[in-house]
Amino acid sequence: MKHYSDIIPDKSHTFSKAHHQYPKGISPLTAKKAYGSKLVTNLGEYTDWSMGLGPVIKGYNFKPLNDHIIKRVRSGIAYSLPSDFEFDVAAKLLSAVNFGESVRFARNGSDVTSAAIRLSRYITKRELVICNGYHGWQDWFIGTTTRSGGVPESIKSLTKKIEGFDSNKLKEMFHSSGDKVACLIIEPMIGDEPNLEFLELARDLCNKHGSLLIFDECWTGFRCHKEGAIGYTGIRPDLVCYAKAIGNGVPVSAILGPKNYMHNFEEIFFSFTHASDPIGLAAADFMIDYLDHNFFDALTLKTKNFFNKIKLELNKIENPKYKINVTSYPGKIVLSPFEAKMAIQLKTFIQKEFLNENMLFNMFFAMCEDHDDIDIDLALNVIQNIVLKLNAEYFDLENEVKGQLVSPVFRQQK
């Protein structure tokens, strides 16, 4: 197949969409089109639970959104001047999230998290960054991972990562180097309900040491709540970054903050040709209205009911080696094996079971409005079968996944 040859390194432009993230031999390799919660692939139609790695919060190919974008395209794109539309969408975004006074738009999550880092370094005249999750592909973050090839050592040493919401580690870092910390950038929730104590500590430490607190809401923004994690937790950062769901899959991202910080973008360089692309802005313009409080009430309830049922099933796993944890916040449910050394085998096995029922699953459910009761019931059936198999007397996990293991995204730190 021409499109599956080596002309594209890794045969994918996104690591988490690549062939090595799905079990070998039985997984679809390419998508042809999508609608609602369905993905039409080279192997037929699948219910998608990844939803483009999070952005597609309404569903694929939503006609009113498409029409809104097409109307904008008919006015031309890539203008050589800023458009009036940028100011309209910026004002709409500020009022929707009830945070900040000023906005810069971009295309990807990595654009805005990196802009936030540069801005915090410029404001504080410090270099050290502390982070806690995944924040994009740029040097400043990827240098903290095991896939840091090509990142200079001097850059690596400027970012320190804590695991999740480790309060002690955070205190230690601020205690030893607080006067060097430009910012603490955090995913405020990582596939689970917020740790409010940690978030309050983060806010206090940043206040005390003169560091900026940045919420990376690329996942949580426009997913857990209309006002994202800021609205959901009540903790207010200094800057916030949105991406993914704000465009329902159309690339658009934004950084927001108070004018006294954001005006520094007039000095520091954060500029690229398609930063205010009208297609992305049209998607945001439409979605900010569409994602109203009724939308989030319904998505929250759907997620909660599904989560409770999954939890009930997974609690029936008997063998401690095969135990699987399930966590959730509104709009997202995450499965994670308890035993780190079983993680890849269990992940592969679970993915296979979903694939056998024509569902694409990558250990999280990115819930969208178009996931209906049928999708959910079928997924629950798969989970029930997984539990039955894991509990069966002669179940042999190693044999089940032989030759089909998926790759870890970031290898275990040595």
Ligand X SMILES: Cc1ncc(COP(=O)(O)O)c(C=O)c1O
Give the interface segment with ligand X, choosing from 73-81, 107-115, 370-378, 401-409 (CB under 6 A). 107-115
What tokens appear for 176 in the block?
Answer: 């030893």
Question: Which of residues 190 and 383 has its CB atom nearest to ligand X in the complex?
Answer: 190
Dihedral over alpha carbons 282, 111, 61, 228 (to 10 degrees)? -80
Q: Rounded to the nearest whole angstrom, what is the least distance from the CB of residue 232 to ligand X in the complex?
A: 15
Q: Rounded to the nearest whole angstrom, what is the least distance from the CB of residue 187 to ligand X in the complex?
A: 5
Q: Residue 119 class from Cβ within 10 Å (0-12 exposed, 13-18 middle, 19+ buried)?
A: buried
Query: Of 198, 115, 139, whose CA–CA distance to 164 is shortest?
Result: 198
Query: Does residue 228 interact with ligand X by CB under 6 A?
Result: no
Residue type, 2: K
Question: What whole-number distance in Å separates Cα of residue 268 and Cα of residue 122?
Answer: 8
Query: Does residue 108 interact with ligand X by CB under 6 A?
Result: yes
Query: Does residue 187 interact with ligand X by CB under 6 A?
Result: yes
Question: Which of residues 216 and 313 has its CB atom nearest to ligand X in the complex?
Answer: 216
Query: Does residue 358 interact with ligand X by CB under 6 A?
Result: no
Query: Does residue 186 interact with ligand X by CB under 6 A?
Result: no
Question: What whole-number distance in Å separates Cα of residue 385 and Cα of residue 381?
Answer: 6
Residues in contact with 77: Cβ distance below 8 Å, sequence separation at least 6, in sequence order: 277, 278, 279
Query: Does residue 218 interact with ligand X by CB under 6 A?
Result: yes
Q: Which of 36, 136, 249, 280 binds ligand X (CB under 6 A)?
A: 136
Q: Which of 110, 233, 248, 345 binds ligand X (CB under 6 A)?
A: 110
Query: Does residue 18 interact with ligand X by CB under 6 A?
Result: no
Query: Does residue 359 interact with ligand X by CB under 6 A?
Result: no
Burial string for 147-173 (b: 16+ CB within 10 Å, else e) reads ebeebeeeebebbbbbeebeeebbeeb
Query: Does residue 322 interact with ligand X by CB under 6 A?
Result: no
Question: What whole-number distance in Å separates Cα of residue 87 and Cα of residue 100?
Answer: 14
Q: Which of 219, 222, 232, 242 binds ligand X (CB under 6 A)?
A: 219
Give the interface segment with ligand X, choosing from 120-128, 134-142, 274-282, 329-337 (CB under 6 A). 134-142
Question: Which of residues 18 and 401 has its CB atom nearest to ligand X in the complex?
Answer: 18
* Residues in contact with ligand X, shown as a per-residue x/- string from 42 to 71 under the rule CB under 6 A: -----------x------------------
* Residue appearing with tokens 């800057």: 239
**Helix or strand holding residue 26 (H, E):** none
3 state DSSP class of 272: coil
Q: How many helices (H) and strands (E) does the chain have?
A: 14, 14
Question: What whole-number distance in Å separates Cα of residue 258 and Cα of residue 10?
Answer: 41
Query: Does residue 280 interact with ligand X by CB under 6 A?
Result: no
Question: Which of residues 366 and 376 has its CB atom nearest to ligand X in the complex?
Answer: 366
Residues in the site for ligand X, rule: CB under 6 A? 53, 108-110, 113, 133-136, 187, 216, 218-219, 243
